[in-house]
Homo-oligomer: A and B are copies of this chain.
């Protein structure tokens, strides 16, 4: 199985954190392609920054179509669920994977986030997925970050404390450490948090493998089928080519 893992942030150090946790999570028979968005921002915290990332992620997917599945590796799932229309293989966001991992292990969960600004966008993601009622809380670091690549070292203790308070005060059955910059931290702090701790990257990789393995078949109809052919303009060659291919395959995929 070949999985494309896309970092929607333009930060290479976060890409390396993603790659490291993805390598630890992946099955021995899975091959990983880890790629970084070509444009956008260093770290997505808002709806508009997610908008900027969405087309850039689409282009990465369009450029790497010889894969069995795609993982969109920024919490908040920029471009989702729209990106599921682009190719006939599963495209999985790390947020939706983490939400499922939490929902399968408990009833209510909390999200621990690395900035206050990011929480409104995360809340909307959870509500759109359908789990607004299962969200115990979103707690976040309030201080400015020193750098996006060192968040988990700089804020290890406060992050654990936020998670512990989510359990004790908010009724969280499961805690999600949100955001690619925290990739891998769950393994490290698990013993200090008295409920299951979900890592977004780990969940994204493993649930993508599971869904690809299910081989449920493509969308030849319905609202996730490839968009119908029509006049387009101004798109990147990769996107044009991907849409052409998908629309040609349309009735036979």
Chain A residues packing against B (C-beta within 8 Å): 10-11, 25, 27, 38-43, 45-52, 54-56, 58, 79, 81-86, 90, 92, 96-97, 100-101, 103-108, 117, 119-121, 124, 127-134, 167-168, 171-174, 186-187, 190-191, 193-199, 202-203, 206-207, 209-211, 213-225, 227-228, 230-235, 239
Contact = CB atoms under 8 A, between A and B. Distances in A.
Given A52-B55, A190-B217, A196-B216, A41 B232 contact: yes
Contacts of A231: 10-11, 41-42
A82 to B, nearest CB: 4
Contacts of A193: 217
A68 to B, nearest CB: 14
A209 B210 contact: yes
Nearest to A231: B42
Contacts of A133: 127, 130, 132
Nearest to A171: B120
21 contacts: A10-B234, A41-B231, A41-B232, A41-B233, A47-B82, A52-B239, A84-B105, A96-B104, A100-B207, A101-B210, A101-B216, A120-B223, A130-B132, A171-B223, A173-B219, A190-B217, A194-B225, A195-B220, A196-B216, A206-B210, A206-B214
Residue among A48, A120, A225 with the most chain B CB within 10 A?
A48
Contacts of A131: 130
Contacts of A56: 234
B222 A82 contact: no
A115 to B, nearest CB: 8
A58 B49 contact: no
Given A84-B106, A228-B117, A214 B134 contact: no
A174 to B, nearest CB: 7
A42 to B, nearest CB: 4
Contacts of A203: 210, 214
A198 B216 contact: yes
Given A10-B234, A55-B55, A105-B216, 12 more contacts: A38-B233, A49-B227, A51-B58, A51-B83, A81-B106, A90-B105, A117-B228, A127-B133, A130-B134, A171-B223, A203-B214, A206-B213
